[in-house]
Each structure stands twice: as C-alpha cells, then as structure tokens.
C-alpha cells in the first residue's frame, strides 16, 4: 500500500514538473491539441516557471533532467526525430545526449578507489576531469600506468536507487494507462515498461556493458564501417568501465563533422548498414544509437560508445525481420505480409491480401525517396492506423529494435537530407537473405533439426515410461470392461511418439 502511494506521488510529481516547465501541453502547440487538452494546458501554465526557456524542447529537457535517468532516456529518443517533433524542439532536447551536469571529481575518484581497493594514483598516471556526462554515468579521460590513453566511465552516485524508483512509478503508470485508456492495451504498455526496466537495470553493472562491447566488436566485423573501443579488463569493475580512448568527433557536433570534410552521405549509409548487419548477421545490435553515442574520425571511420543497452534477436526473429524488409525493398508486399502472419504479428483471422494492400499503401509513397522528401510524421501516423486496423500488438522482443531503428534513422537525417533508407538497407538485407537461403543457411537448418531430434530422442525413454504407466493404470481401472478407445489412444501415442522421433532422426541423417 505504501509503495503504491509512493508511486502515485512520483507520477504526480512528474506531471507537476512537466507543468512547471510548460512541457506537458506546450503553449506553442495549443492549436494541435483537442479542446480538453487546451484547457488543461492553460491550467498547467498557471503554475509554470516565469522566464522559462523559449524553446519547448529545452523546457522538456530541463524537466526530464529533474525527473531522473529513466525519463532522460525517453527524451534522448525524441531528440533524434526532428522530422516528427520539429527541428527547434529537437535542438532543445539535444542537451540530454551528452551535456548533463557532471558530478564531482572527488566523488568519481572515491568510486574508483572503492571498486579496486587502491588509490587512483596506483591505477592511472593521469586522471582528468569529466569530459562527458549522461543520465547514468560520466566519462573521464585518463592514462594508464603503462601510458595508454583511456576513457574511464563511472556510474553516478545513488543512480541505482533512483532508477528503481522510476521503474516502479512507470509500472504503475502503464497499469493506469491500460485501465483509463483500454485502446492502449494493443501497444502493450506493461511489456514495454518491463523491456525498458530490464535494459536500465543491466546498465547498472558496467562489467555487463564491457562484455556487450566485446561481443559487439566481434559482430561489427560484418559491417562495412563500424568500430568498437577495446575494453581494458583489468581496470573494469561493476561501477567502472575502462576502454581505449578514441580521438574522434561526436555526431552531436555537426558543424565540426562537416568542417572536417567527412562525407556525411556515406556516413549515414554506413550507420544504417552497421545497425542492420550486426542485427541480422549476428543477432546483436547497439540499442542506444543516439548522436551522443556515435563518433567519426577525420578519415570517416564510424565509432560507437556506451553499450549499456544491447538488443538481441534469435535466428527465427532475424529471418522474419529480413523477410519483411526484403519484401519492402523489392516491393513484394505479399511476401512481407506473409512474413507478418508467419511470425504471428498479425492475428490469423485477418486477410493476408488486405494486409498486403495496406503495406503497399504505406510503402509506395516513400519508396526510393530521400530523407528530405519523406514526411515521416505522416508515415508514422499511417503505420499506427494500420497496426490498429489489424490488431497488431507490440512485440516485446522487438521493442529495442524498433526504438533503435527510430534513433538510427533520426541520426541519418541529422547527417544529410539525401539519405536513402532503401538503398542503404539493401546490401545488409541481401547478404543475409543469400546466406539464409543458400548452402550455409540449409546447413544451419539441418543442424538445428538434428539438435531437436537429439532432444526428442533423449526424452523418448522417459516419455515411453510415462505412457506405459498411464496405460497400465487405465488397463487396471478398465480390466472389467472391453478395451476402450482411451486405451487405444494411449497405445497409439506410444507408437506415434517413437515413430516421430525416428522419422526426425532419419530426416537429418
């Protein structure tokens, strides 16, 4: 009971904080709101801070910073979508990406010493002030005893407790959303919160982030131009992560990127290829690809940092995704529709042909268009209408993928209006489809079938024993009557189970 009241208080505090910054129903967007929202907006502005920022995005950024790291993550996603929320709004939100207020150097040093049980001077010959501060951690430039330049990431003090409270409040908020707005159930708000909660909790152990960085560096080999800093394992602990230092330009500083003569059109294509190649080829992808986590060297090499949130896809999910993307790329809308049905994303009672026609209506107007030619806000609205019409529920396992696709495409728009998502996606999808439909894919299919067959055969003796015991009990109970259909079914089940296992084994031999 006390916990629920505390969460209600936190949700109320969130609404109050947004209202104080005129960020809940901004005055600049009153004409776009329904009448009820306009009334609430006028009431909220009665308590708004005077002399607040003119940019509504900056006001929202200030509010989210006060609310905590979980809310900041939400703002970071919005900041990549200038085409949806407006360029001015996005500029205001961009401060969330890597320019948050850092905590003190002494606190950082104390965390390092507590984690390793040694003074900082015994670990690093140089340890500088923070060079970047984000919602969960900040980064310091340092030099190891051996003279190697490194980046040292340190968790914010008490961030774990703050995230725990945020998650509890968001869980309550998702329940209230489903109760007050039944139509929201289709979007699976509870599943979405659980996915976000899981990723945030994982971010609190930097040893896991180090492992993710190492894993992604192996997957990045599949991409055309994508690099991951090397982890310095002896200087990595739960609250401290040390990696090689990268001399590169952050993509948040587009003026510097252009001044360096970087080919931004190619870089946008490389980013799209990196995301899809790692996701499809290796089933792992960087799931927080906002501009603050991406860097480019003067010779055009693309680097990523911050591996707290990683996405993973099973082979089956990767196949469905590739089939859907391939259908759009080749304008095979029947194939894309069938992939949705095969994956269970669209309930079977709907017409596949009708759904294929709906996909065609969304894709054809934007096919082959560059970022500058595509009104993405209209496309997103149409996609939302399609998912509603066909009872498509949010897929929890794809939440991070969808969120990262939004982020990556948003960063590409920052780089250039000439980015063509169709051309950039094609090579990675084609490579995967060739592999999956070719000899390598067939061999992997056989290997999986063989593994399943082995599992069935291992379980077969136990299954036969159980069926025999069941048959024996039935026979004893029905000994005074002729053989019943139940006994026949049990006997047939034994035979069918053995036959199935043998047939599967023979099929893969």
What are the structural domain ranges in the chain? Answer: 2-96, 160-198, 219-227+247-437, 446-508
SS3 content of the chain, % helix, strand, coil (to 5): 65, 10, 25
Integer angstrom CA distances of residue 360 from 328, 356, 364: 8, 6, 6
pLDDT given at position 495: 44
Alpha-carbon dihedral of residues 291, 292, 297, 302, nearest 10 degrees?
A: -50
| Sequential pLDDT tens for the chain (509 residues) | 555 677 777 778 777 888 888 777 776 666 666 666 667 777 677 677 766 667 788 888 888 888 877 778 777 766 655 655 666 777 778 667 656 789 999 999 999 999 999 999 999 999 999 998 888 899 999 999 999 999 999 999 988 888 888 888 778 777 777 776 666 665 567 776 776 677 777 788 999 999 999 999 999 999 989 999 999 999 999 999 999 999 999 998 999 999 999 999 999 999 999 999 999 999 999 988 888 899 999 999 999 999 988 888 888 888 888 888 888 888 899 998 998 888 888 888 999 999 999 989 888 887 777 666 665 545 655 665 677 788 876 565 566 677 777 778 888 888 988 887 777 888 888 888 887 765 655 565 566 655 666 676 677 677 766 767 777 777 676 665 554 454 444 444 444 444 444 444 444 44
Cβ atoms of 199 and 306 within 8 Å: the answer is no
Q: What pLDDT is attached to residue 46? A: 67
- For residue 96, what pLDDT is reported? 73
Residue in 98, 166, 270, 288 annotated catalytic:
288
Q: Is 462 a catalytic residue?
A: no
Please name which of 84, 77, 91 lies closest in space to residue 407, comparing C-alpha atoms.
77
Could you give the C-alpha distances from 212 to 16, 78, 284, 351, in angstroms and in order? Answer: 37, 25, 9, 41
Q: What pLDDT score was predicted for residue 433?
A: 84
Across the beta sheet with 302-304, what order do the strands follow? 249-250, 294-296, 302-304
**Whole-number Cα distances in Å, 251 to 270, 279, 325, 481:** 14, 22, 27, 81
Give the CA diameter of the chain. Answer: 94
Strand ranges inside 109-236, DSSP E: 124-133, 137-144, 149-155
- Confidence (pLDDT) at 459: 73
């Amino acid at each position: 009971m006390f916990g629920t009241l505390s969460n209600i208080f936190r949700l109320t505090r969130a609404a109050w904080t947004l209202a104080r910054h005129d960020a809940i129903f901004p005055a600049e967007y009153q004409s776009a709101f329904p009448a009820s929202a306009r009334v609430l907006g006028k009431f909220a502005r009665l308590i708004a801070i005077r002399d607040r920022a003119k940019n509504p995005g900056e006001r929202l950024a200030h509010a989210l910073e006060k609310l905590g790291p979980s809310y900041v993550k939400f703002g970071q996603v919005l900041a990549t979508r200038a085409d949806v929320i407006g360029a001015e709004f996005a500029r205001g939100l961009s401060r969330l990406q890597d320019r948050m207020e850092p905590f003190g150097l002494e606190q950082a040093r104390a965390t390092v010493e507590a984690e390793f049980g040694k003074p900082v001077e015994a670990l690093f010959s140089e340890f500088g002030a923070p060079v970047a501060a984000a919602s969960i951690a900040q980064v310091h430039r340092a030099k190891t005893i051996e003279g190697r330049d490194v980046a040292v990431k340190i968790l914010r003090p008490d961030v774990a407790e703050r995230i725990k409270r945020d998650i509890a409040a968001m869980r309550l908020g998702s329940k209230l959303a489903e109760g007050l707005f039944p139509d929201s159930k289709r979007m699976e708000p509870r599943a979405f919160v659980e996915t976000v909660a899981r990723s945030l909790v994982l971010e609190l152990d930097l040893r896991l982030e180090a492992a993710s960085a190492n894993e992604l560096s192996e997957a990045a080999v599949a991409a055309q131009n994508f690099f991951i800093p090397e982890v310095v394992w002896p200087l990595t602990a739960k609250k401290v992560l040390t990696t090689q230092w990268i001399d590169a330009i952050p993509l948040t500083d587009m003026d510097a990127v252009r001044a360096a003569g970087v080919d931004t059109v190619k870089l946008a294509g490389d980013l799209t290829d990196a995301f899809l190649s790692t996701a499809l080829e290796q089933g792992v992808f960087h799931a927080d690809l906002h501009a603050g986590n991406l860097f480019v060297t003067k010779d055009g090499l693309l680097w990523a940092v911050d591996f707290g949130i990683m996405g993973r896809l099973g082979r089956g999910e990767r196949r469905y995704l590739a089939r859907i993307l391939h259908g759009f790329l080749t304008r095979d809308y029947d194939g894309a529709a069938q992939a949705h049905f095969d994956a269970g994303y669209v309930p079977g009672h709907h017409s596949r042909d009708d759904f294929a026609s709906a996909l065609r209506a969304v894709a054809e107007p934007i096919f082959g268009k560059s970022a500058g030619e595509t009104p993405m806000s209209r496309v997103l609205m149409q996609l939302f209408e399609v998912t509603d019409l066909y009872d498509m529920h949010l897929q929890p396992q794809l939440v991070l993928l969808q969120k990262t696709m939004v982020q990556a495409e948003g960063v590409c728009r920052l780089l250039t209006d000439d980015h063509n998502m169709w051309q950039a996606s094609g090579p990675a999808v084609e490579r995967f489809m060739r592999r999956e439909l070719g000899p390598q894919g067939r061999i992997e299919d056989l290997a999986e079938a063989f593994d399943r067959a082995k599992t069935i055969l291992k379980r077969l003796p136990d299954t036969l024993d159980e069926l025999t015991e069941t048959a024996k009990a039935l026979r004893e109970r029905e000994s005074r009557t002729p053989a019943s259909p139940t006994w026949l079914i049990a006997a047939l089940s034994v035979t069918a189970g053995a036959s199935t296992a043998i047939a599967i084994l023979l099929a893969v031999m």
